[in-house]
Every structure is written in structure tokens, then in C-alpha cells.
């Protein structure tokens, strides 16, 4: 009953947001997406976009679900090729508030629907669920949207069970280079997944509405008891230093980077939707012994 109530609430929110959306065609078959996270959701619903910005970047950073060869590259996310977009004859163009500056000109081609996942209220997972329900309704893929939500709930439940009652605090980072990292904080997709699974984020400093803090590696000093999870891709130079325990470098000398004290998980889009959230939950669950004890090699 609780699950049905939750889905009904999401449906009501989606209906309310739909009332304030631009006037859309009765039937939507051809969708162009500026944003990778929304493209990920489209693909997960079984409606691949006809056009997407920076397809190579999507394939490198998001990767799942994969793009087919039929998805047309439309240029940069901030400055898409308008002639290319128009040639695709989209029924709708999906965007986010991040690209609000280009929405008026895109609106001359087709209705633009802007859907935010990362906002000041720091609840990206709830927003991603609302977006999935709304897109599911618009695209006649409501069952697929419910499957996404239910699948995520199942993956989070599995993560909770894998972590057990004695899970350690976790810190999740992605490396810019040898010395600088993004730390995923409150307001991030990853932190929301961990919170729902009953896990505690070891990083408590403030960040931004994207749920990330730009930090240097030495700011991890003092967090040695946390389970450090590093999201690929890892710079080659950093990987070599980790393997060599290079003297004179932070990663070579910090306890947190000793063999067995951290884990590296496959690439995943930390700014995506429900599919990225579910993949992260499964990746953490696969580290069950590590996040319970943290010291196994």
C-alpha cells in the first residue's frame, strides 16, 4: 500500500508540473535532448532521442544505456547546431535550467520542456523520479517509468542488506587530476542513494546545488576510517602513483590510499537519473565486505 501511495504521489506531482509545461503535441515520437541525464531516462524508457548534444561525451561519461548509431549529434550542449536540430523535426526538445539561455531560440524550432534534477532543495533522486513519471506519461511509457522506480527501490534495498547494520561511513570521489577531486556531498545523486539505503556520507562540508565539493586530496586527511569509493575514469598518472605508492605525493603517503583501503567502481554519471542511481547502488552493493569492514585487500 505504501508503494502504491508513493507512486500515486509522484503521479500527482508529475501532473501538476505538466500543467505548467509548454503546450505539447498530443503525440510525441521525435525527441531531441540537450541534457545527458534526460537522454539516459529517455533511453531507459525505450524512447531513444533522435538527436543529442555531445554524443561522444555521453558515451564516455554516461555510457548506459548505450546510444544507437541512429542518434544524431547536434553539437555542444551550450551551443547546439540549430540547423541540425531543426532538420530532425523534433516534436519536443528536452532541456534543463542549466541551458535556460538557449531555450528561447530552441523554442522557435519546437516546444522546449525544461526538467530540473539538481535544485536548491537538494533532492535529486526525488526529482529524477518525478521526471521519469512525467516523461513516461508524455511518451505513453508509464509502465516503463514505474519499472525504473521499482527497479531502483529494489537495488537500494539490496544495498541496504549488503551493507548490513555495521556499515562504515562512505566517501565518494571522482578525480580531476592527481591532486584535485570532486567529493559527492549532500544534494548529490550518490548521497541520496546512500541515504535511502541507510548509509552515512563521511563528507559533511557544504557544497553546491549539484551536490559536489571541489577539494584537494589533502582535505581527505582525517577521514581514514571511511570507506573511500573512487568513480572511474581515473587519470592514468594517478593510477600509476596509486600502484607505485609514489613517495613525495599525497596519494603515495596518505593512509587512505594504501592498497585495500579504497575501491574503484566503473564509470557512472553522477548527474544523471534513475538508471545512474541504480547502477551506483549495485556498484556499492558489490563492495559489501569493503563497506562493512573497509580493510580487506
Q: What is the pLDDT of residue 26?
A: 81
Q: What is the pLDDT of residue 17?
A: 52
Residue 157 lies in a domain: no
Residue 45 lies in a domain: yes
Residue 256 lies in a domain: yes
First to last CA, the chain: 43
121, 150, 179 — which closes off a domain?
150
Output the DSSP codes for 48-108. Answer: --SEESSHHHIIIII-SSPPPTTSEE-B-SSSB-HHHHHHT--SEEEE-GGGGGGHHHHTT
Verify that 184 and 132 share a domain, yes or no: no
Residue 159 lies in a domain: no
The residues facing 228 across adjacent strands are 171, 262
Verify that 174 and 141 share a domain, yes or no: no
Verify that 169 and 146 share a domain, yes or no: no
Nearest-Å Rg of the Cα atoms of the chain is: 20
Residue 156 lies in a domain: no
Q: What is the pLDDT of residue 294?
A: 45
Nearest CA among 171, 131, 139, 120 for reference residue 291? 171
Verify that 23 and 105 share a domain, yes or no: yes
150, 176, 195 — which closes off a domain?
150
Q: What is the pLDDT of residue 296?
A: 42
Which structural domain, as residue segments, surrounds residue 261?
Answer: 165-293
pTM of the predicted structure, to 2 decimals: 0.89
Which residue spans within the chain are E strands per DSSP? 31-33, 51-52, 72-73, 92-95, 112-114, 170-175, 180-184, 212-216, 227-231, 262-265
Residue 158 lies in a domain: no
Number of folded domains in the chain? Answer: 2
Output the DSSP codes for 18-30. Answer: HHTSPP--SS---
Could you report the average pLDDT of every consecutive run of 10 residues in the chain (297 residues)? 56 52 82 97 98 95 93 97 98 96 96 95 95 96 97 98 90 92 96 96 89 94 94 89 80 88 93 97 96 60
Verify that 142 and 173 share a domain, yes or no: no
Verify that 39 and 14 share a domain, yes or no: yes
Amino acid at each position: 500500500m505504501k508503494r502504491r501511495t508513493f507512486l500515486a504521489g509522484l503521479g500527482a506531482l508529475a501532473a501538476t508540473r505538466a500543467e505548467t509545461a509548454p503546450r505539447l503535441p498530443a503525440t510525441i515520437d521525435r525527441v531531441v535532448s540537450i541534457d545527458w541525464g534526460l537522454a539516459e531516462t529517455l533511453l531507459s524508457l525505450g524512447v531513444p532521442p533522435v538527436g543529442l548534444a555531445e554524443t561522444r561525451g555521453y558515451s564516455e561519461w554516461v555510457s548506459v544505456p548505450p546510444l544507437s548509431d541512429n542518434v544524431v549529434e547536434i553539437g555542444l550542449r551550450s551551443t547546439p547546431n540549430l540547423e541540425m536540430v531543426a532538420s530532425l523535426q523534433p516534436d519536443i526538445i528536452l532541456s534543463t535550467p542549466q541551458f535556460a539561455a538557449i531555450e528561447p531560440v530552441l523554442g522557435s524550432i519546437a516546444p522546449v520542456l525544461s526538467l530540473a534534477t539538481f535544485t536548491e532543495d537538494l533532492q535529486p533522486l526525488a526529482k529524477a523520479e518525478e521526471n521519469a513519471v512525467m516523461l513516461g506519461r508524455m511518451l505513453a511509457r508509464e509502465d516503463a517509468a514505474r519499472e525504473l522506480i521499482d527497479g531502483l527501490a529494489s537495488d537500494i534495498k539490496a544495498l541496504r542488506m549488503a551493507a548490513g547494520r555495521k556499515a562504515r561511513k562512505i566517501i565518494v570521489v571522482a578525480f580531476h587530476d592527481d591532486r584535485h577531486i570532486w567529493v559527492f556531498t549532500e544534494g548529490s545523486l550518490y548521497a541520496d542513494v546512500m541515504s535511502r539505503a541507510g548509509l552515512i556520507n563521511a563528507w559533511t562540508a557544504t557544497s553546491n546545488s549539484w551536490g559536489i565539493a571541489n577539494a584537494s586530496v589533502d582535505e581527505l586527511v582525517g577521514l581514514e576510517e571511511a570507506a573511500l569509493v573512487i568513480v572511474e575514469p581515473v587519470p592514468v598518472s594517478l593510477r600509476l602513483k596509486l600502484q607505485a605508492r609514489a613517495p613525495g605525493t599525497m596519494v603515495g603517503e596518505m593512509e587512505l590510499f594504501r592498497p585495500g583501503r579504497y575501491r574503484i567502481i566503473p564509470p557512472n554519471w553522477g548527474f544523471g537519473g534513475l538508471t545512474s542511481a541504480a547502477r551506483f547502488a549495485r556498484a556499492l552493493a558489490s563492495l559489501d565486505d569493503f563497506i562493512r569492514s573497509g580493510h580487506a585487500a
